[in-house]
Chain A
């Protein structure tokens, strides 16, 4: 793809929650395409463009750790807020964490590192001034300088993602030699099962779209939007 970019991302932990295991969160083995899209959007995004993830390179061994935290059980009820707003008074608008406790464990990835290969396409909302070169330049400039709209994260916000642009033509960062195992699909492809591809925010009910994730030689190919690989 002519307008492709490659971004190296890494961090101390990562948590790409499986939708079926989200009360006590369990991470996928590999970053999902939607999480990768979120990272790119944290650096540069406009309604005029959509990021499309092409493939994800896994650079580190897949390792997990369990962390249990005290979390609150409820969200802020809009009704209470509205009532307080109409009343012009703050009484009763708060969450008492001690009385609303849930202890939840998260199974998180340890020291994940990836290379995201992606490109973008212009959307129907692109204006005459929008062209590929402009957005590509903005992204490359920001990523090279470490600029971002907000610090991207590896799944959840407490696990910050560090990022570095891989310049066109530059070699990929070296994969941890210890990671070159069957677990990453070296020797034979490793089936990761169905993985979240992205959420269809345009459709009613916001359905999830899935794809069959396969790791081959440390690389996960991501199907293009609209292709047969994306299941609903």
Chain B
């Protein structure tokens, strides 16, 4: 595997229709909001979770593509029993509760082994409590919070369920409403929070120098872009609604250190409202009478390719 030798910066544009892209645990699972601007937020960790899930799904069991930070149950756990039966000689290592690496060299070995086997450690890094200084892997891929292009309006939807959770709840309800029929007696109310429509932008950075250290390869980069393009296709749930990656634009620098400041490259990707096919900036005051955006075609994405700095290439991956 050839390790990545060129720096990349990328812009990920995704949207949500009638769903909650990222709930805020502080606000009763309301979609995350920037309280000052009412723009929606999706945290970097939320997006990384989806990348991990996609890679786990797409590359199950492939050497070097295991996922360290997993969600849910592990099917492999069952294999372990067989393993223990086959190899009884491992008792010594299993017995010791605490093992710390003896020196920097051993810590380095452990780190390299983790990087070689786990895609997410190689990509995002991990903190390993080795008890000595070198216990951290800094991954080459760094992502920022995604921001919605325009302020979003979270809507609360009340829903009902035609059953009670347990007998006690049923009894309580029956006492409260003597005359009503049994169907409504057992009803429980719930809430869903949705964003009717929102288009979000996240920025990402891939350091070729860190890729050298973790062994993040060109093939891993392909897989990362594949994951960014497809991750929402495999993350369907009642809460999410319809989420789609709409655009993935990568800026490939000619060198490891890069050829232009990332913020100037990101400024080249502009998202505006589509007014009869005409691009209008979202902060244009003339847009006041326009209906709120409800679909992707209400927006236009404009990539400024004029006067690109030397040594930077625009890859339109989606």
Contacts and interface: CB of A to CB of B under 8 A. Distances in A.
Bind each other:
yes
Interface of A: 12-13, 63, 65-72, 75-79, 81-83, 85-87, 89-98, 103, 105, 110, 142, 145-151, 153, 157-160, 162-164, 201
A81 B110 contact: yes
Interface residues on B, range: 35 or more
A70 B44 CA distance: 11
B93 A70 contact: no
Interface stretch (B142-150, B222-230, B231-239): B142-150
Which 3 A/B pairs are nearest by Cβ-Cβ distance?
A146-B261, A79-B99, A150-B207
B215 interface: no
Contact of A65 (B36, B93, B205): B36
B181 interface: no
Nearest to A72: B69
A85 B90 CA distance: 12
B255 A75 contact: no
A82 B107 CA distance: 9
Given A67-B43, A85-B109, A89-B83, 13 more contacts: A66-B26, A69-B43, A70-B25, A71-B45, A78-B110, A82-B110, A94-B67, A94-B70, A95-B69, A96-B72, A142-B257, A146-B264, A149-B257
Contact of B205 (A67, A82, A94, A160): A160
Contacts of B145: 12-13, 158-159
A77 B127 CA distance: 9
A105 to B, nearest CB: 6
Contacts of B44: 158
B310 to A, nearest CB: 10
Contacts of A160: 142, 144, 203, 205, 262
B281 interface: no
A91 B54 CA distance: 20
Contact of B257 (A77, A105, A147, A153): A147
Interface of B: 9, 24-26, 32, 34-36, 41, 43-45, 49, 66-72, 74, 76-77, 79-80, 83, 87, 90, 93-94, 96-101, 106-107, 109-110, 113-114, 117-118, 126-131, 133, 135, 138, 140, 142-145, 147, 203, 205, 207, 209-210, 255, 257-264
Contacts of A69: 25, 43, 45
A146 B99 CA distance: 43
- Name the prevailing secondary structure of the A interface residues: mixed
Contacts of B257: 142, 147-149
Contact of B35 (A65, A81, A94): A65
Given A68-B25, A149-B257, A150-B138, A92 B209 contact: no
A85 B106 CA distance: 11
Contacts of A142: 257
Nearest to A158: B44
A2 B114 CA distance: 45
B258 A147 contact: yes
Given A70-B25, A91-B83, A158 B143 contact: yes
B64 to A, nearest CB: 10
B138 A94 contact: no
A30 B291 CA distance: 41
Given A69-B45, A78-B131, A162 B110 contact: no
A163 B261 contact: yes
A91 B259 CA distance: 43
A151 B143 CA distance: 10
Contact of B93 (A83, A91, A93, A94): A83
Nearest to B69: A95
Contacts of B205: 150-151, 160
Given A82-B99, A142-B257, A97 B26 contact: no
A159 B41 CA distance: 13
20 contacts: A68-B24, A75-B127, A78-B107, A78-B128, A79-B96, A79-B100, A81-B114, A91-B76, A91-B83, A97-B71, A98-B71, A145-B260, A146-B258, A148-B257, A149-B210, A150-B207, A151-B262, A157-B142, A160-B144, A160-B205
Contacts of B107: 78
Contacts of A97: 49, 69-71
Contacts of B209: 149-150
Contacts of A90: 66, 76, 117
A163 B264 CA distance: 10
A89 B144 CA distance: 34
A192 to B, nearest CB: 23
B231 to A, nearest CB: 16
A86 B34 CA distance: 48
